[in-house]
Amino acid sequence: MSDTTAAVEAATVPAVAEPPSGVVRPRRSGWLRGRTVARSWPALLSWLLLAGLVLVALVGPLLVQGDPLRQTSSALLGPGSAGHPLGTDDLGRDELARLVHGARPLLLVSFAATALAAGVGTLIGLVAGYAGGFVEQVLMRLVDLALAFPSILLVILLVAAAGPGTVSLVLGIGISLAPGLARLARALTAREAARDYVVACRLGGTGAPRILVREVLPNIAGPLLAQVVMTLSIAAGFAAGLSYLGLGIQPPQPDWGYMVQAGQEFLFSAPRLVVLPATLTLLFVVACNFVGDDLRDALDPRGAV
């Protein structure tokens, strides 16, 4: 075959298109891949404790036969009394039933308020971190203004303005905790927005909402999830504290925070009325903190394998 014929045949063979060297394909989040949780006994104990308390709140009222609102003729019965394993309170109500039924309101308010804070804070952080410029300045100055108030004071003002109750408690706690999550979400989003896979999506004509939901959010979900779980402990502390002050769950519905306030009059004669609900609240808060720390260590990109 002559050189001329070979050149003609080579020219007629279609060349395989190579992707531009400067374009990086969008990466997919692998923040849960290869990670393990509960790698130490405090973390494992915290996971079990948190799961146990949630299970008590969900199915406990179905298993405990006592009525938390029913009063008996004898008040302040001691533990081990007939039909009352943990005794009764000053109005003759079964203490075990009140503890079990009191878990659901506290955990419901805590989870709902944390979900609200996570949703609002993540949305603000995503928009501010991705848009930058004037939009970021306006949103983050509003966040800084909210953070200038002590969280507990802001919660009390919001709940007091809306009136005591479950809905106002969720709204007040959720709004007060959203700015902290917004700052974290903005920092993580701004970091991811400068990466090559986001630039590639922009060059490909992908819209901002799709980039944020499909690309950025999955890649910042790990650190955000860890912080959200730790925020859950703050929400629980706020909910119990406001119930103690009379601004939260209203009687006669049992609630751990209100039970502490109602039992403090009998702190020396019947300390279990204060110690038991306070201990359960403390265990829930501590478990959330340890679980959040464990998630942060497991989802830390620097610890990825």
Domain definitions of the chain by residue range: 106-305
Instruction: Return the biggest CA–CA distance within the chain.
Output: 114
The region that residue 70 occupies, defined by phi over 0 for left and psi between -120 and 50 for alpha, beta otherwise, is beta
Q: What radius of gyration do the chain's Cα atoms show?
A: 27
Residue in this structure with the two tokens 């005794």, named with its chain if needed:
87
Closest-CA residue to 29 (of 149, 178, 183, 197): 197
> Token pair for residue 157?
């003002």
**305 residues of the chain, pLDDT tens digit each:** 444 444 434 444 344 334 344 444 445 544 445 467 777 888 899 999 999 999 999 998 888 878 888 888 777 888 877 788 898 888 889 999 999 999 999 999 999 999 999 999 999 999 999 998 899 999 999 999 988 888 888 888 888 888 778 888 999 999 999 999 999 999 999 999 888 888 888 888 888 889 898 889 988 988 899 999 999 999 999 999 988 988 888 888 889 999 999 899 888 888 999 999 999 999 999 999 999 988 888 876 554 43
Entry pTM: 0.83
The fold of 106-305 is: MetI-like fold (1.10.3720)
CA distance 58 to 103: 9
For the purposes of burial, counting CB atoms within 10 Å of the CB of 146, is it exposed (0-12), middle (13-18) or buried (19 or more)?
middle
Closest-CA residue to 122 (of 170, 186, 176): 186
Strand runs labelled E in the chain: none
